Amino acid sequence: MSDLLRVRPAATPAMLAIFSDAAVIRHALRFEAALACAQAAEGLIGKGIADAIADLCGGAGIDPADLAERATLAGTLAIPLLALLRAELPPPAAEALHRGATSQDLADTVLMMQVVQATALLAVDLDRVRMALHALAELHAATPAIGRTLLQDAVPIGFGLRLAQAAAGVGDAGRRLEGEVAVHARVQLGGPAGSRAGLGGKGAAIAARMAGELGLVAGVPWHANRTGVAAIAAAVGIVIGALAKLARDISLLAQNAIGEVREPAIPGRGGSSSMGHKRNPTGCQVALSAAIRAPGLVAAVLAALPAEEERGLGGWQAEGPALADLFLLAAGSAAAMADVAEGLEIDEAAIARNLAAASVVDGIGESAAIVSAILAQYRKG
């Protein structure tokens, strides 16, 4: 079975791969291997036992469909996964597997590993959007165009000012996301109730070793404190909103009666099933659709914040799917708008015609200077 017809139009293959079943299982196995190796390094288990666990985790063939069915009954991925692994290990290693950890440790750490990869991937297309807009904004910084407020003609601006402001929004959103991930993408190792019981007083050292191996930040257990996940979700939502701002403006400017810009002509994109003359802004459509879906997903993660005592019921279990969907939507939006920005067609004749029709004779104010200031700020950043 496949749900590509549902998810692929809104996401990218690379981001889908990051949140795929295979990736979840791979990260979960890396968690168990890193835990065992860290415990061996700290003297809690023997090196031979850790090697047996790591070797199995490095080559275990886990069927995602079977694991999903088992997890449906168990309520967590960890329980059936550990059962499958223990069945393949000699008794001492089977007993040592997952020692001092709990199911939420595995789930939270896997999610943060995906978040780190997803953020790095998303940054590539966000940079594409920003750099393309910078070039266009600089080129058209002093091109007189009619500004519009409340969807009505206002006073002239430099056409590049609109593009520079959009670039600033995307740049701000991307930096916010990277900052939240840098702080909150931490390894989770708290054990059954967050006290690191069963780790021989070496929980902090073990967590630090795991963080280094898994590419995460070390720190104290956070499974009862969901503010970091909420901050990341909100930051992804802001990225989607910033991209949609650009998409909204381009789609408005591309209307037939305005015609100041057009999306690039890309084979297979923007056509109509019944009207051959149409050139639909379907890149913008991807971003605007994402912006409609994102607030509900962010709200779901915010709703999980009041987690019950040392381990919540239902809240953190809802975060992973919501955060994955947010990153999928952000990736699809960023890729679509990067293509749009890099190939955006700007019709200077239409811009001049619309300005003349507005019968406004004021100059463009300090538009060019503001564009220069915005570009200089982000070059420094």
Instruction: Please tell me what DSSP assigns to residue 147.
Output: E
Indicate the DSSP class of residue 10: G
Choosing from 272, 293, 359, 372, the catalytic residue is 272
HSE-CB for 216 with a 13 A CA cutoff: 27
Helix axes of 21-41 and 64-74: crossing angle, nearest 10 degrees? 70
- Which residue has 């960023």 as its token pair? 334
E-strand stretches of 212-352: 261-262, 345-346
Task: With beta carbons less than 8 A apart as the criterion, state whether 209 and 36 touch.
Answer: no
Q: Is 175 a catalytic residue?
A: no
- Give every CB contact of residue 98 below 8 A, 6+ residues apart in sequence: 32, 35, 78, 82, 106
How buried is 233 (Cβ within 10 angstroms: 0-12 exposed, 13-18 middle, 19+ buried)?
Answer: buried
Catalytic residue from among 86, 175, 279, 311: 311
> DSSP string of 281-299?
-HHHHHHHHHHHHHHHHHH
Which tokens sit at 99?
């020692």
Please give the single-letter amino acid code of residue 81.
L
Q: How far is CA 288 from CA 85, 115, 283, 293, in A?
A: 44, 23, 9, 9
Three-state secondary structure call for residue 158: strand
> Alpha-carbon distance 326 to 365, whole Å?
39
Structure-token match 């953020």, residue found = 119
Based on the residue annotation, tell me whether 6 is a catalytic residue of this protein. no
CB-based contacts of 99, cutoff 8 Å, min separation 6: 35, 39, 44, 45, 198, 199
Q: Could you tell me if 368 and 159 are in contact, meaning their C-beta atoms sit under 8 angstroms apart? A: no
> Shortest CA distance to 103 belongs to which of 321, 322, 317?
317
Active site members: 272, 311
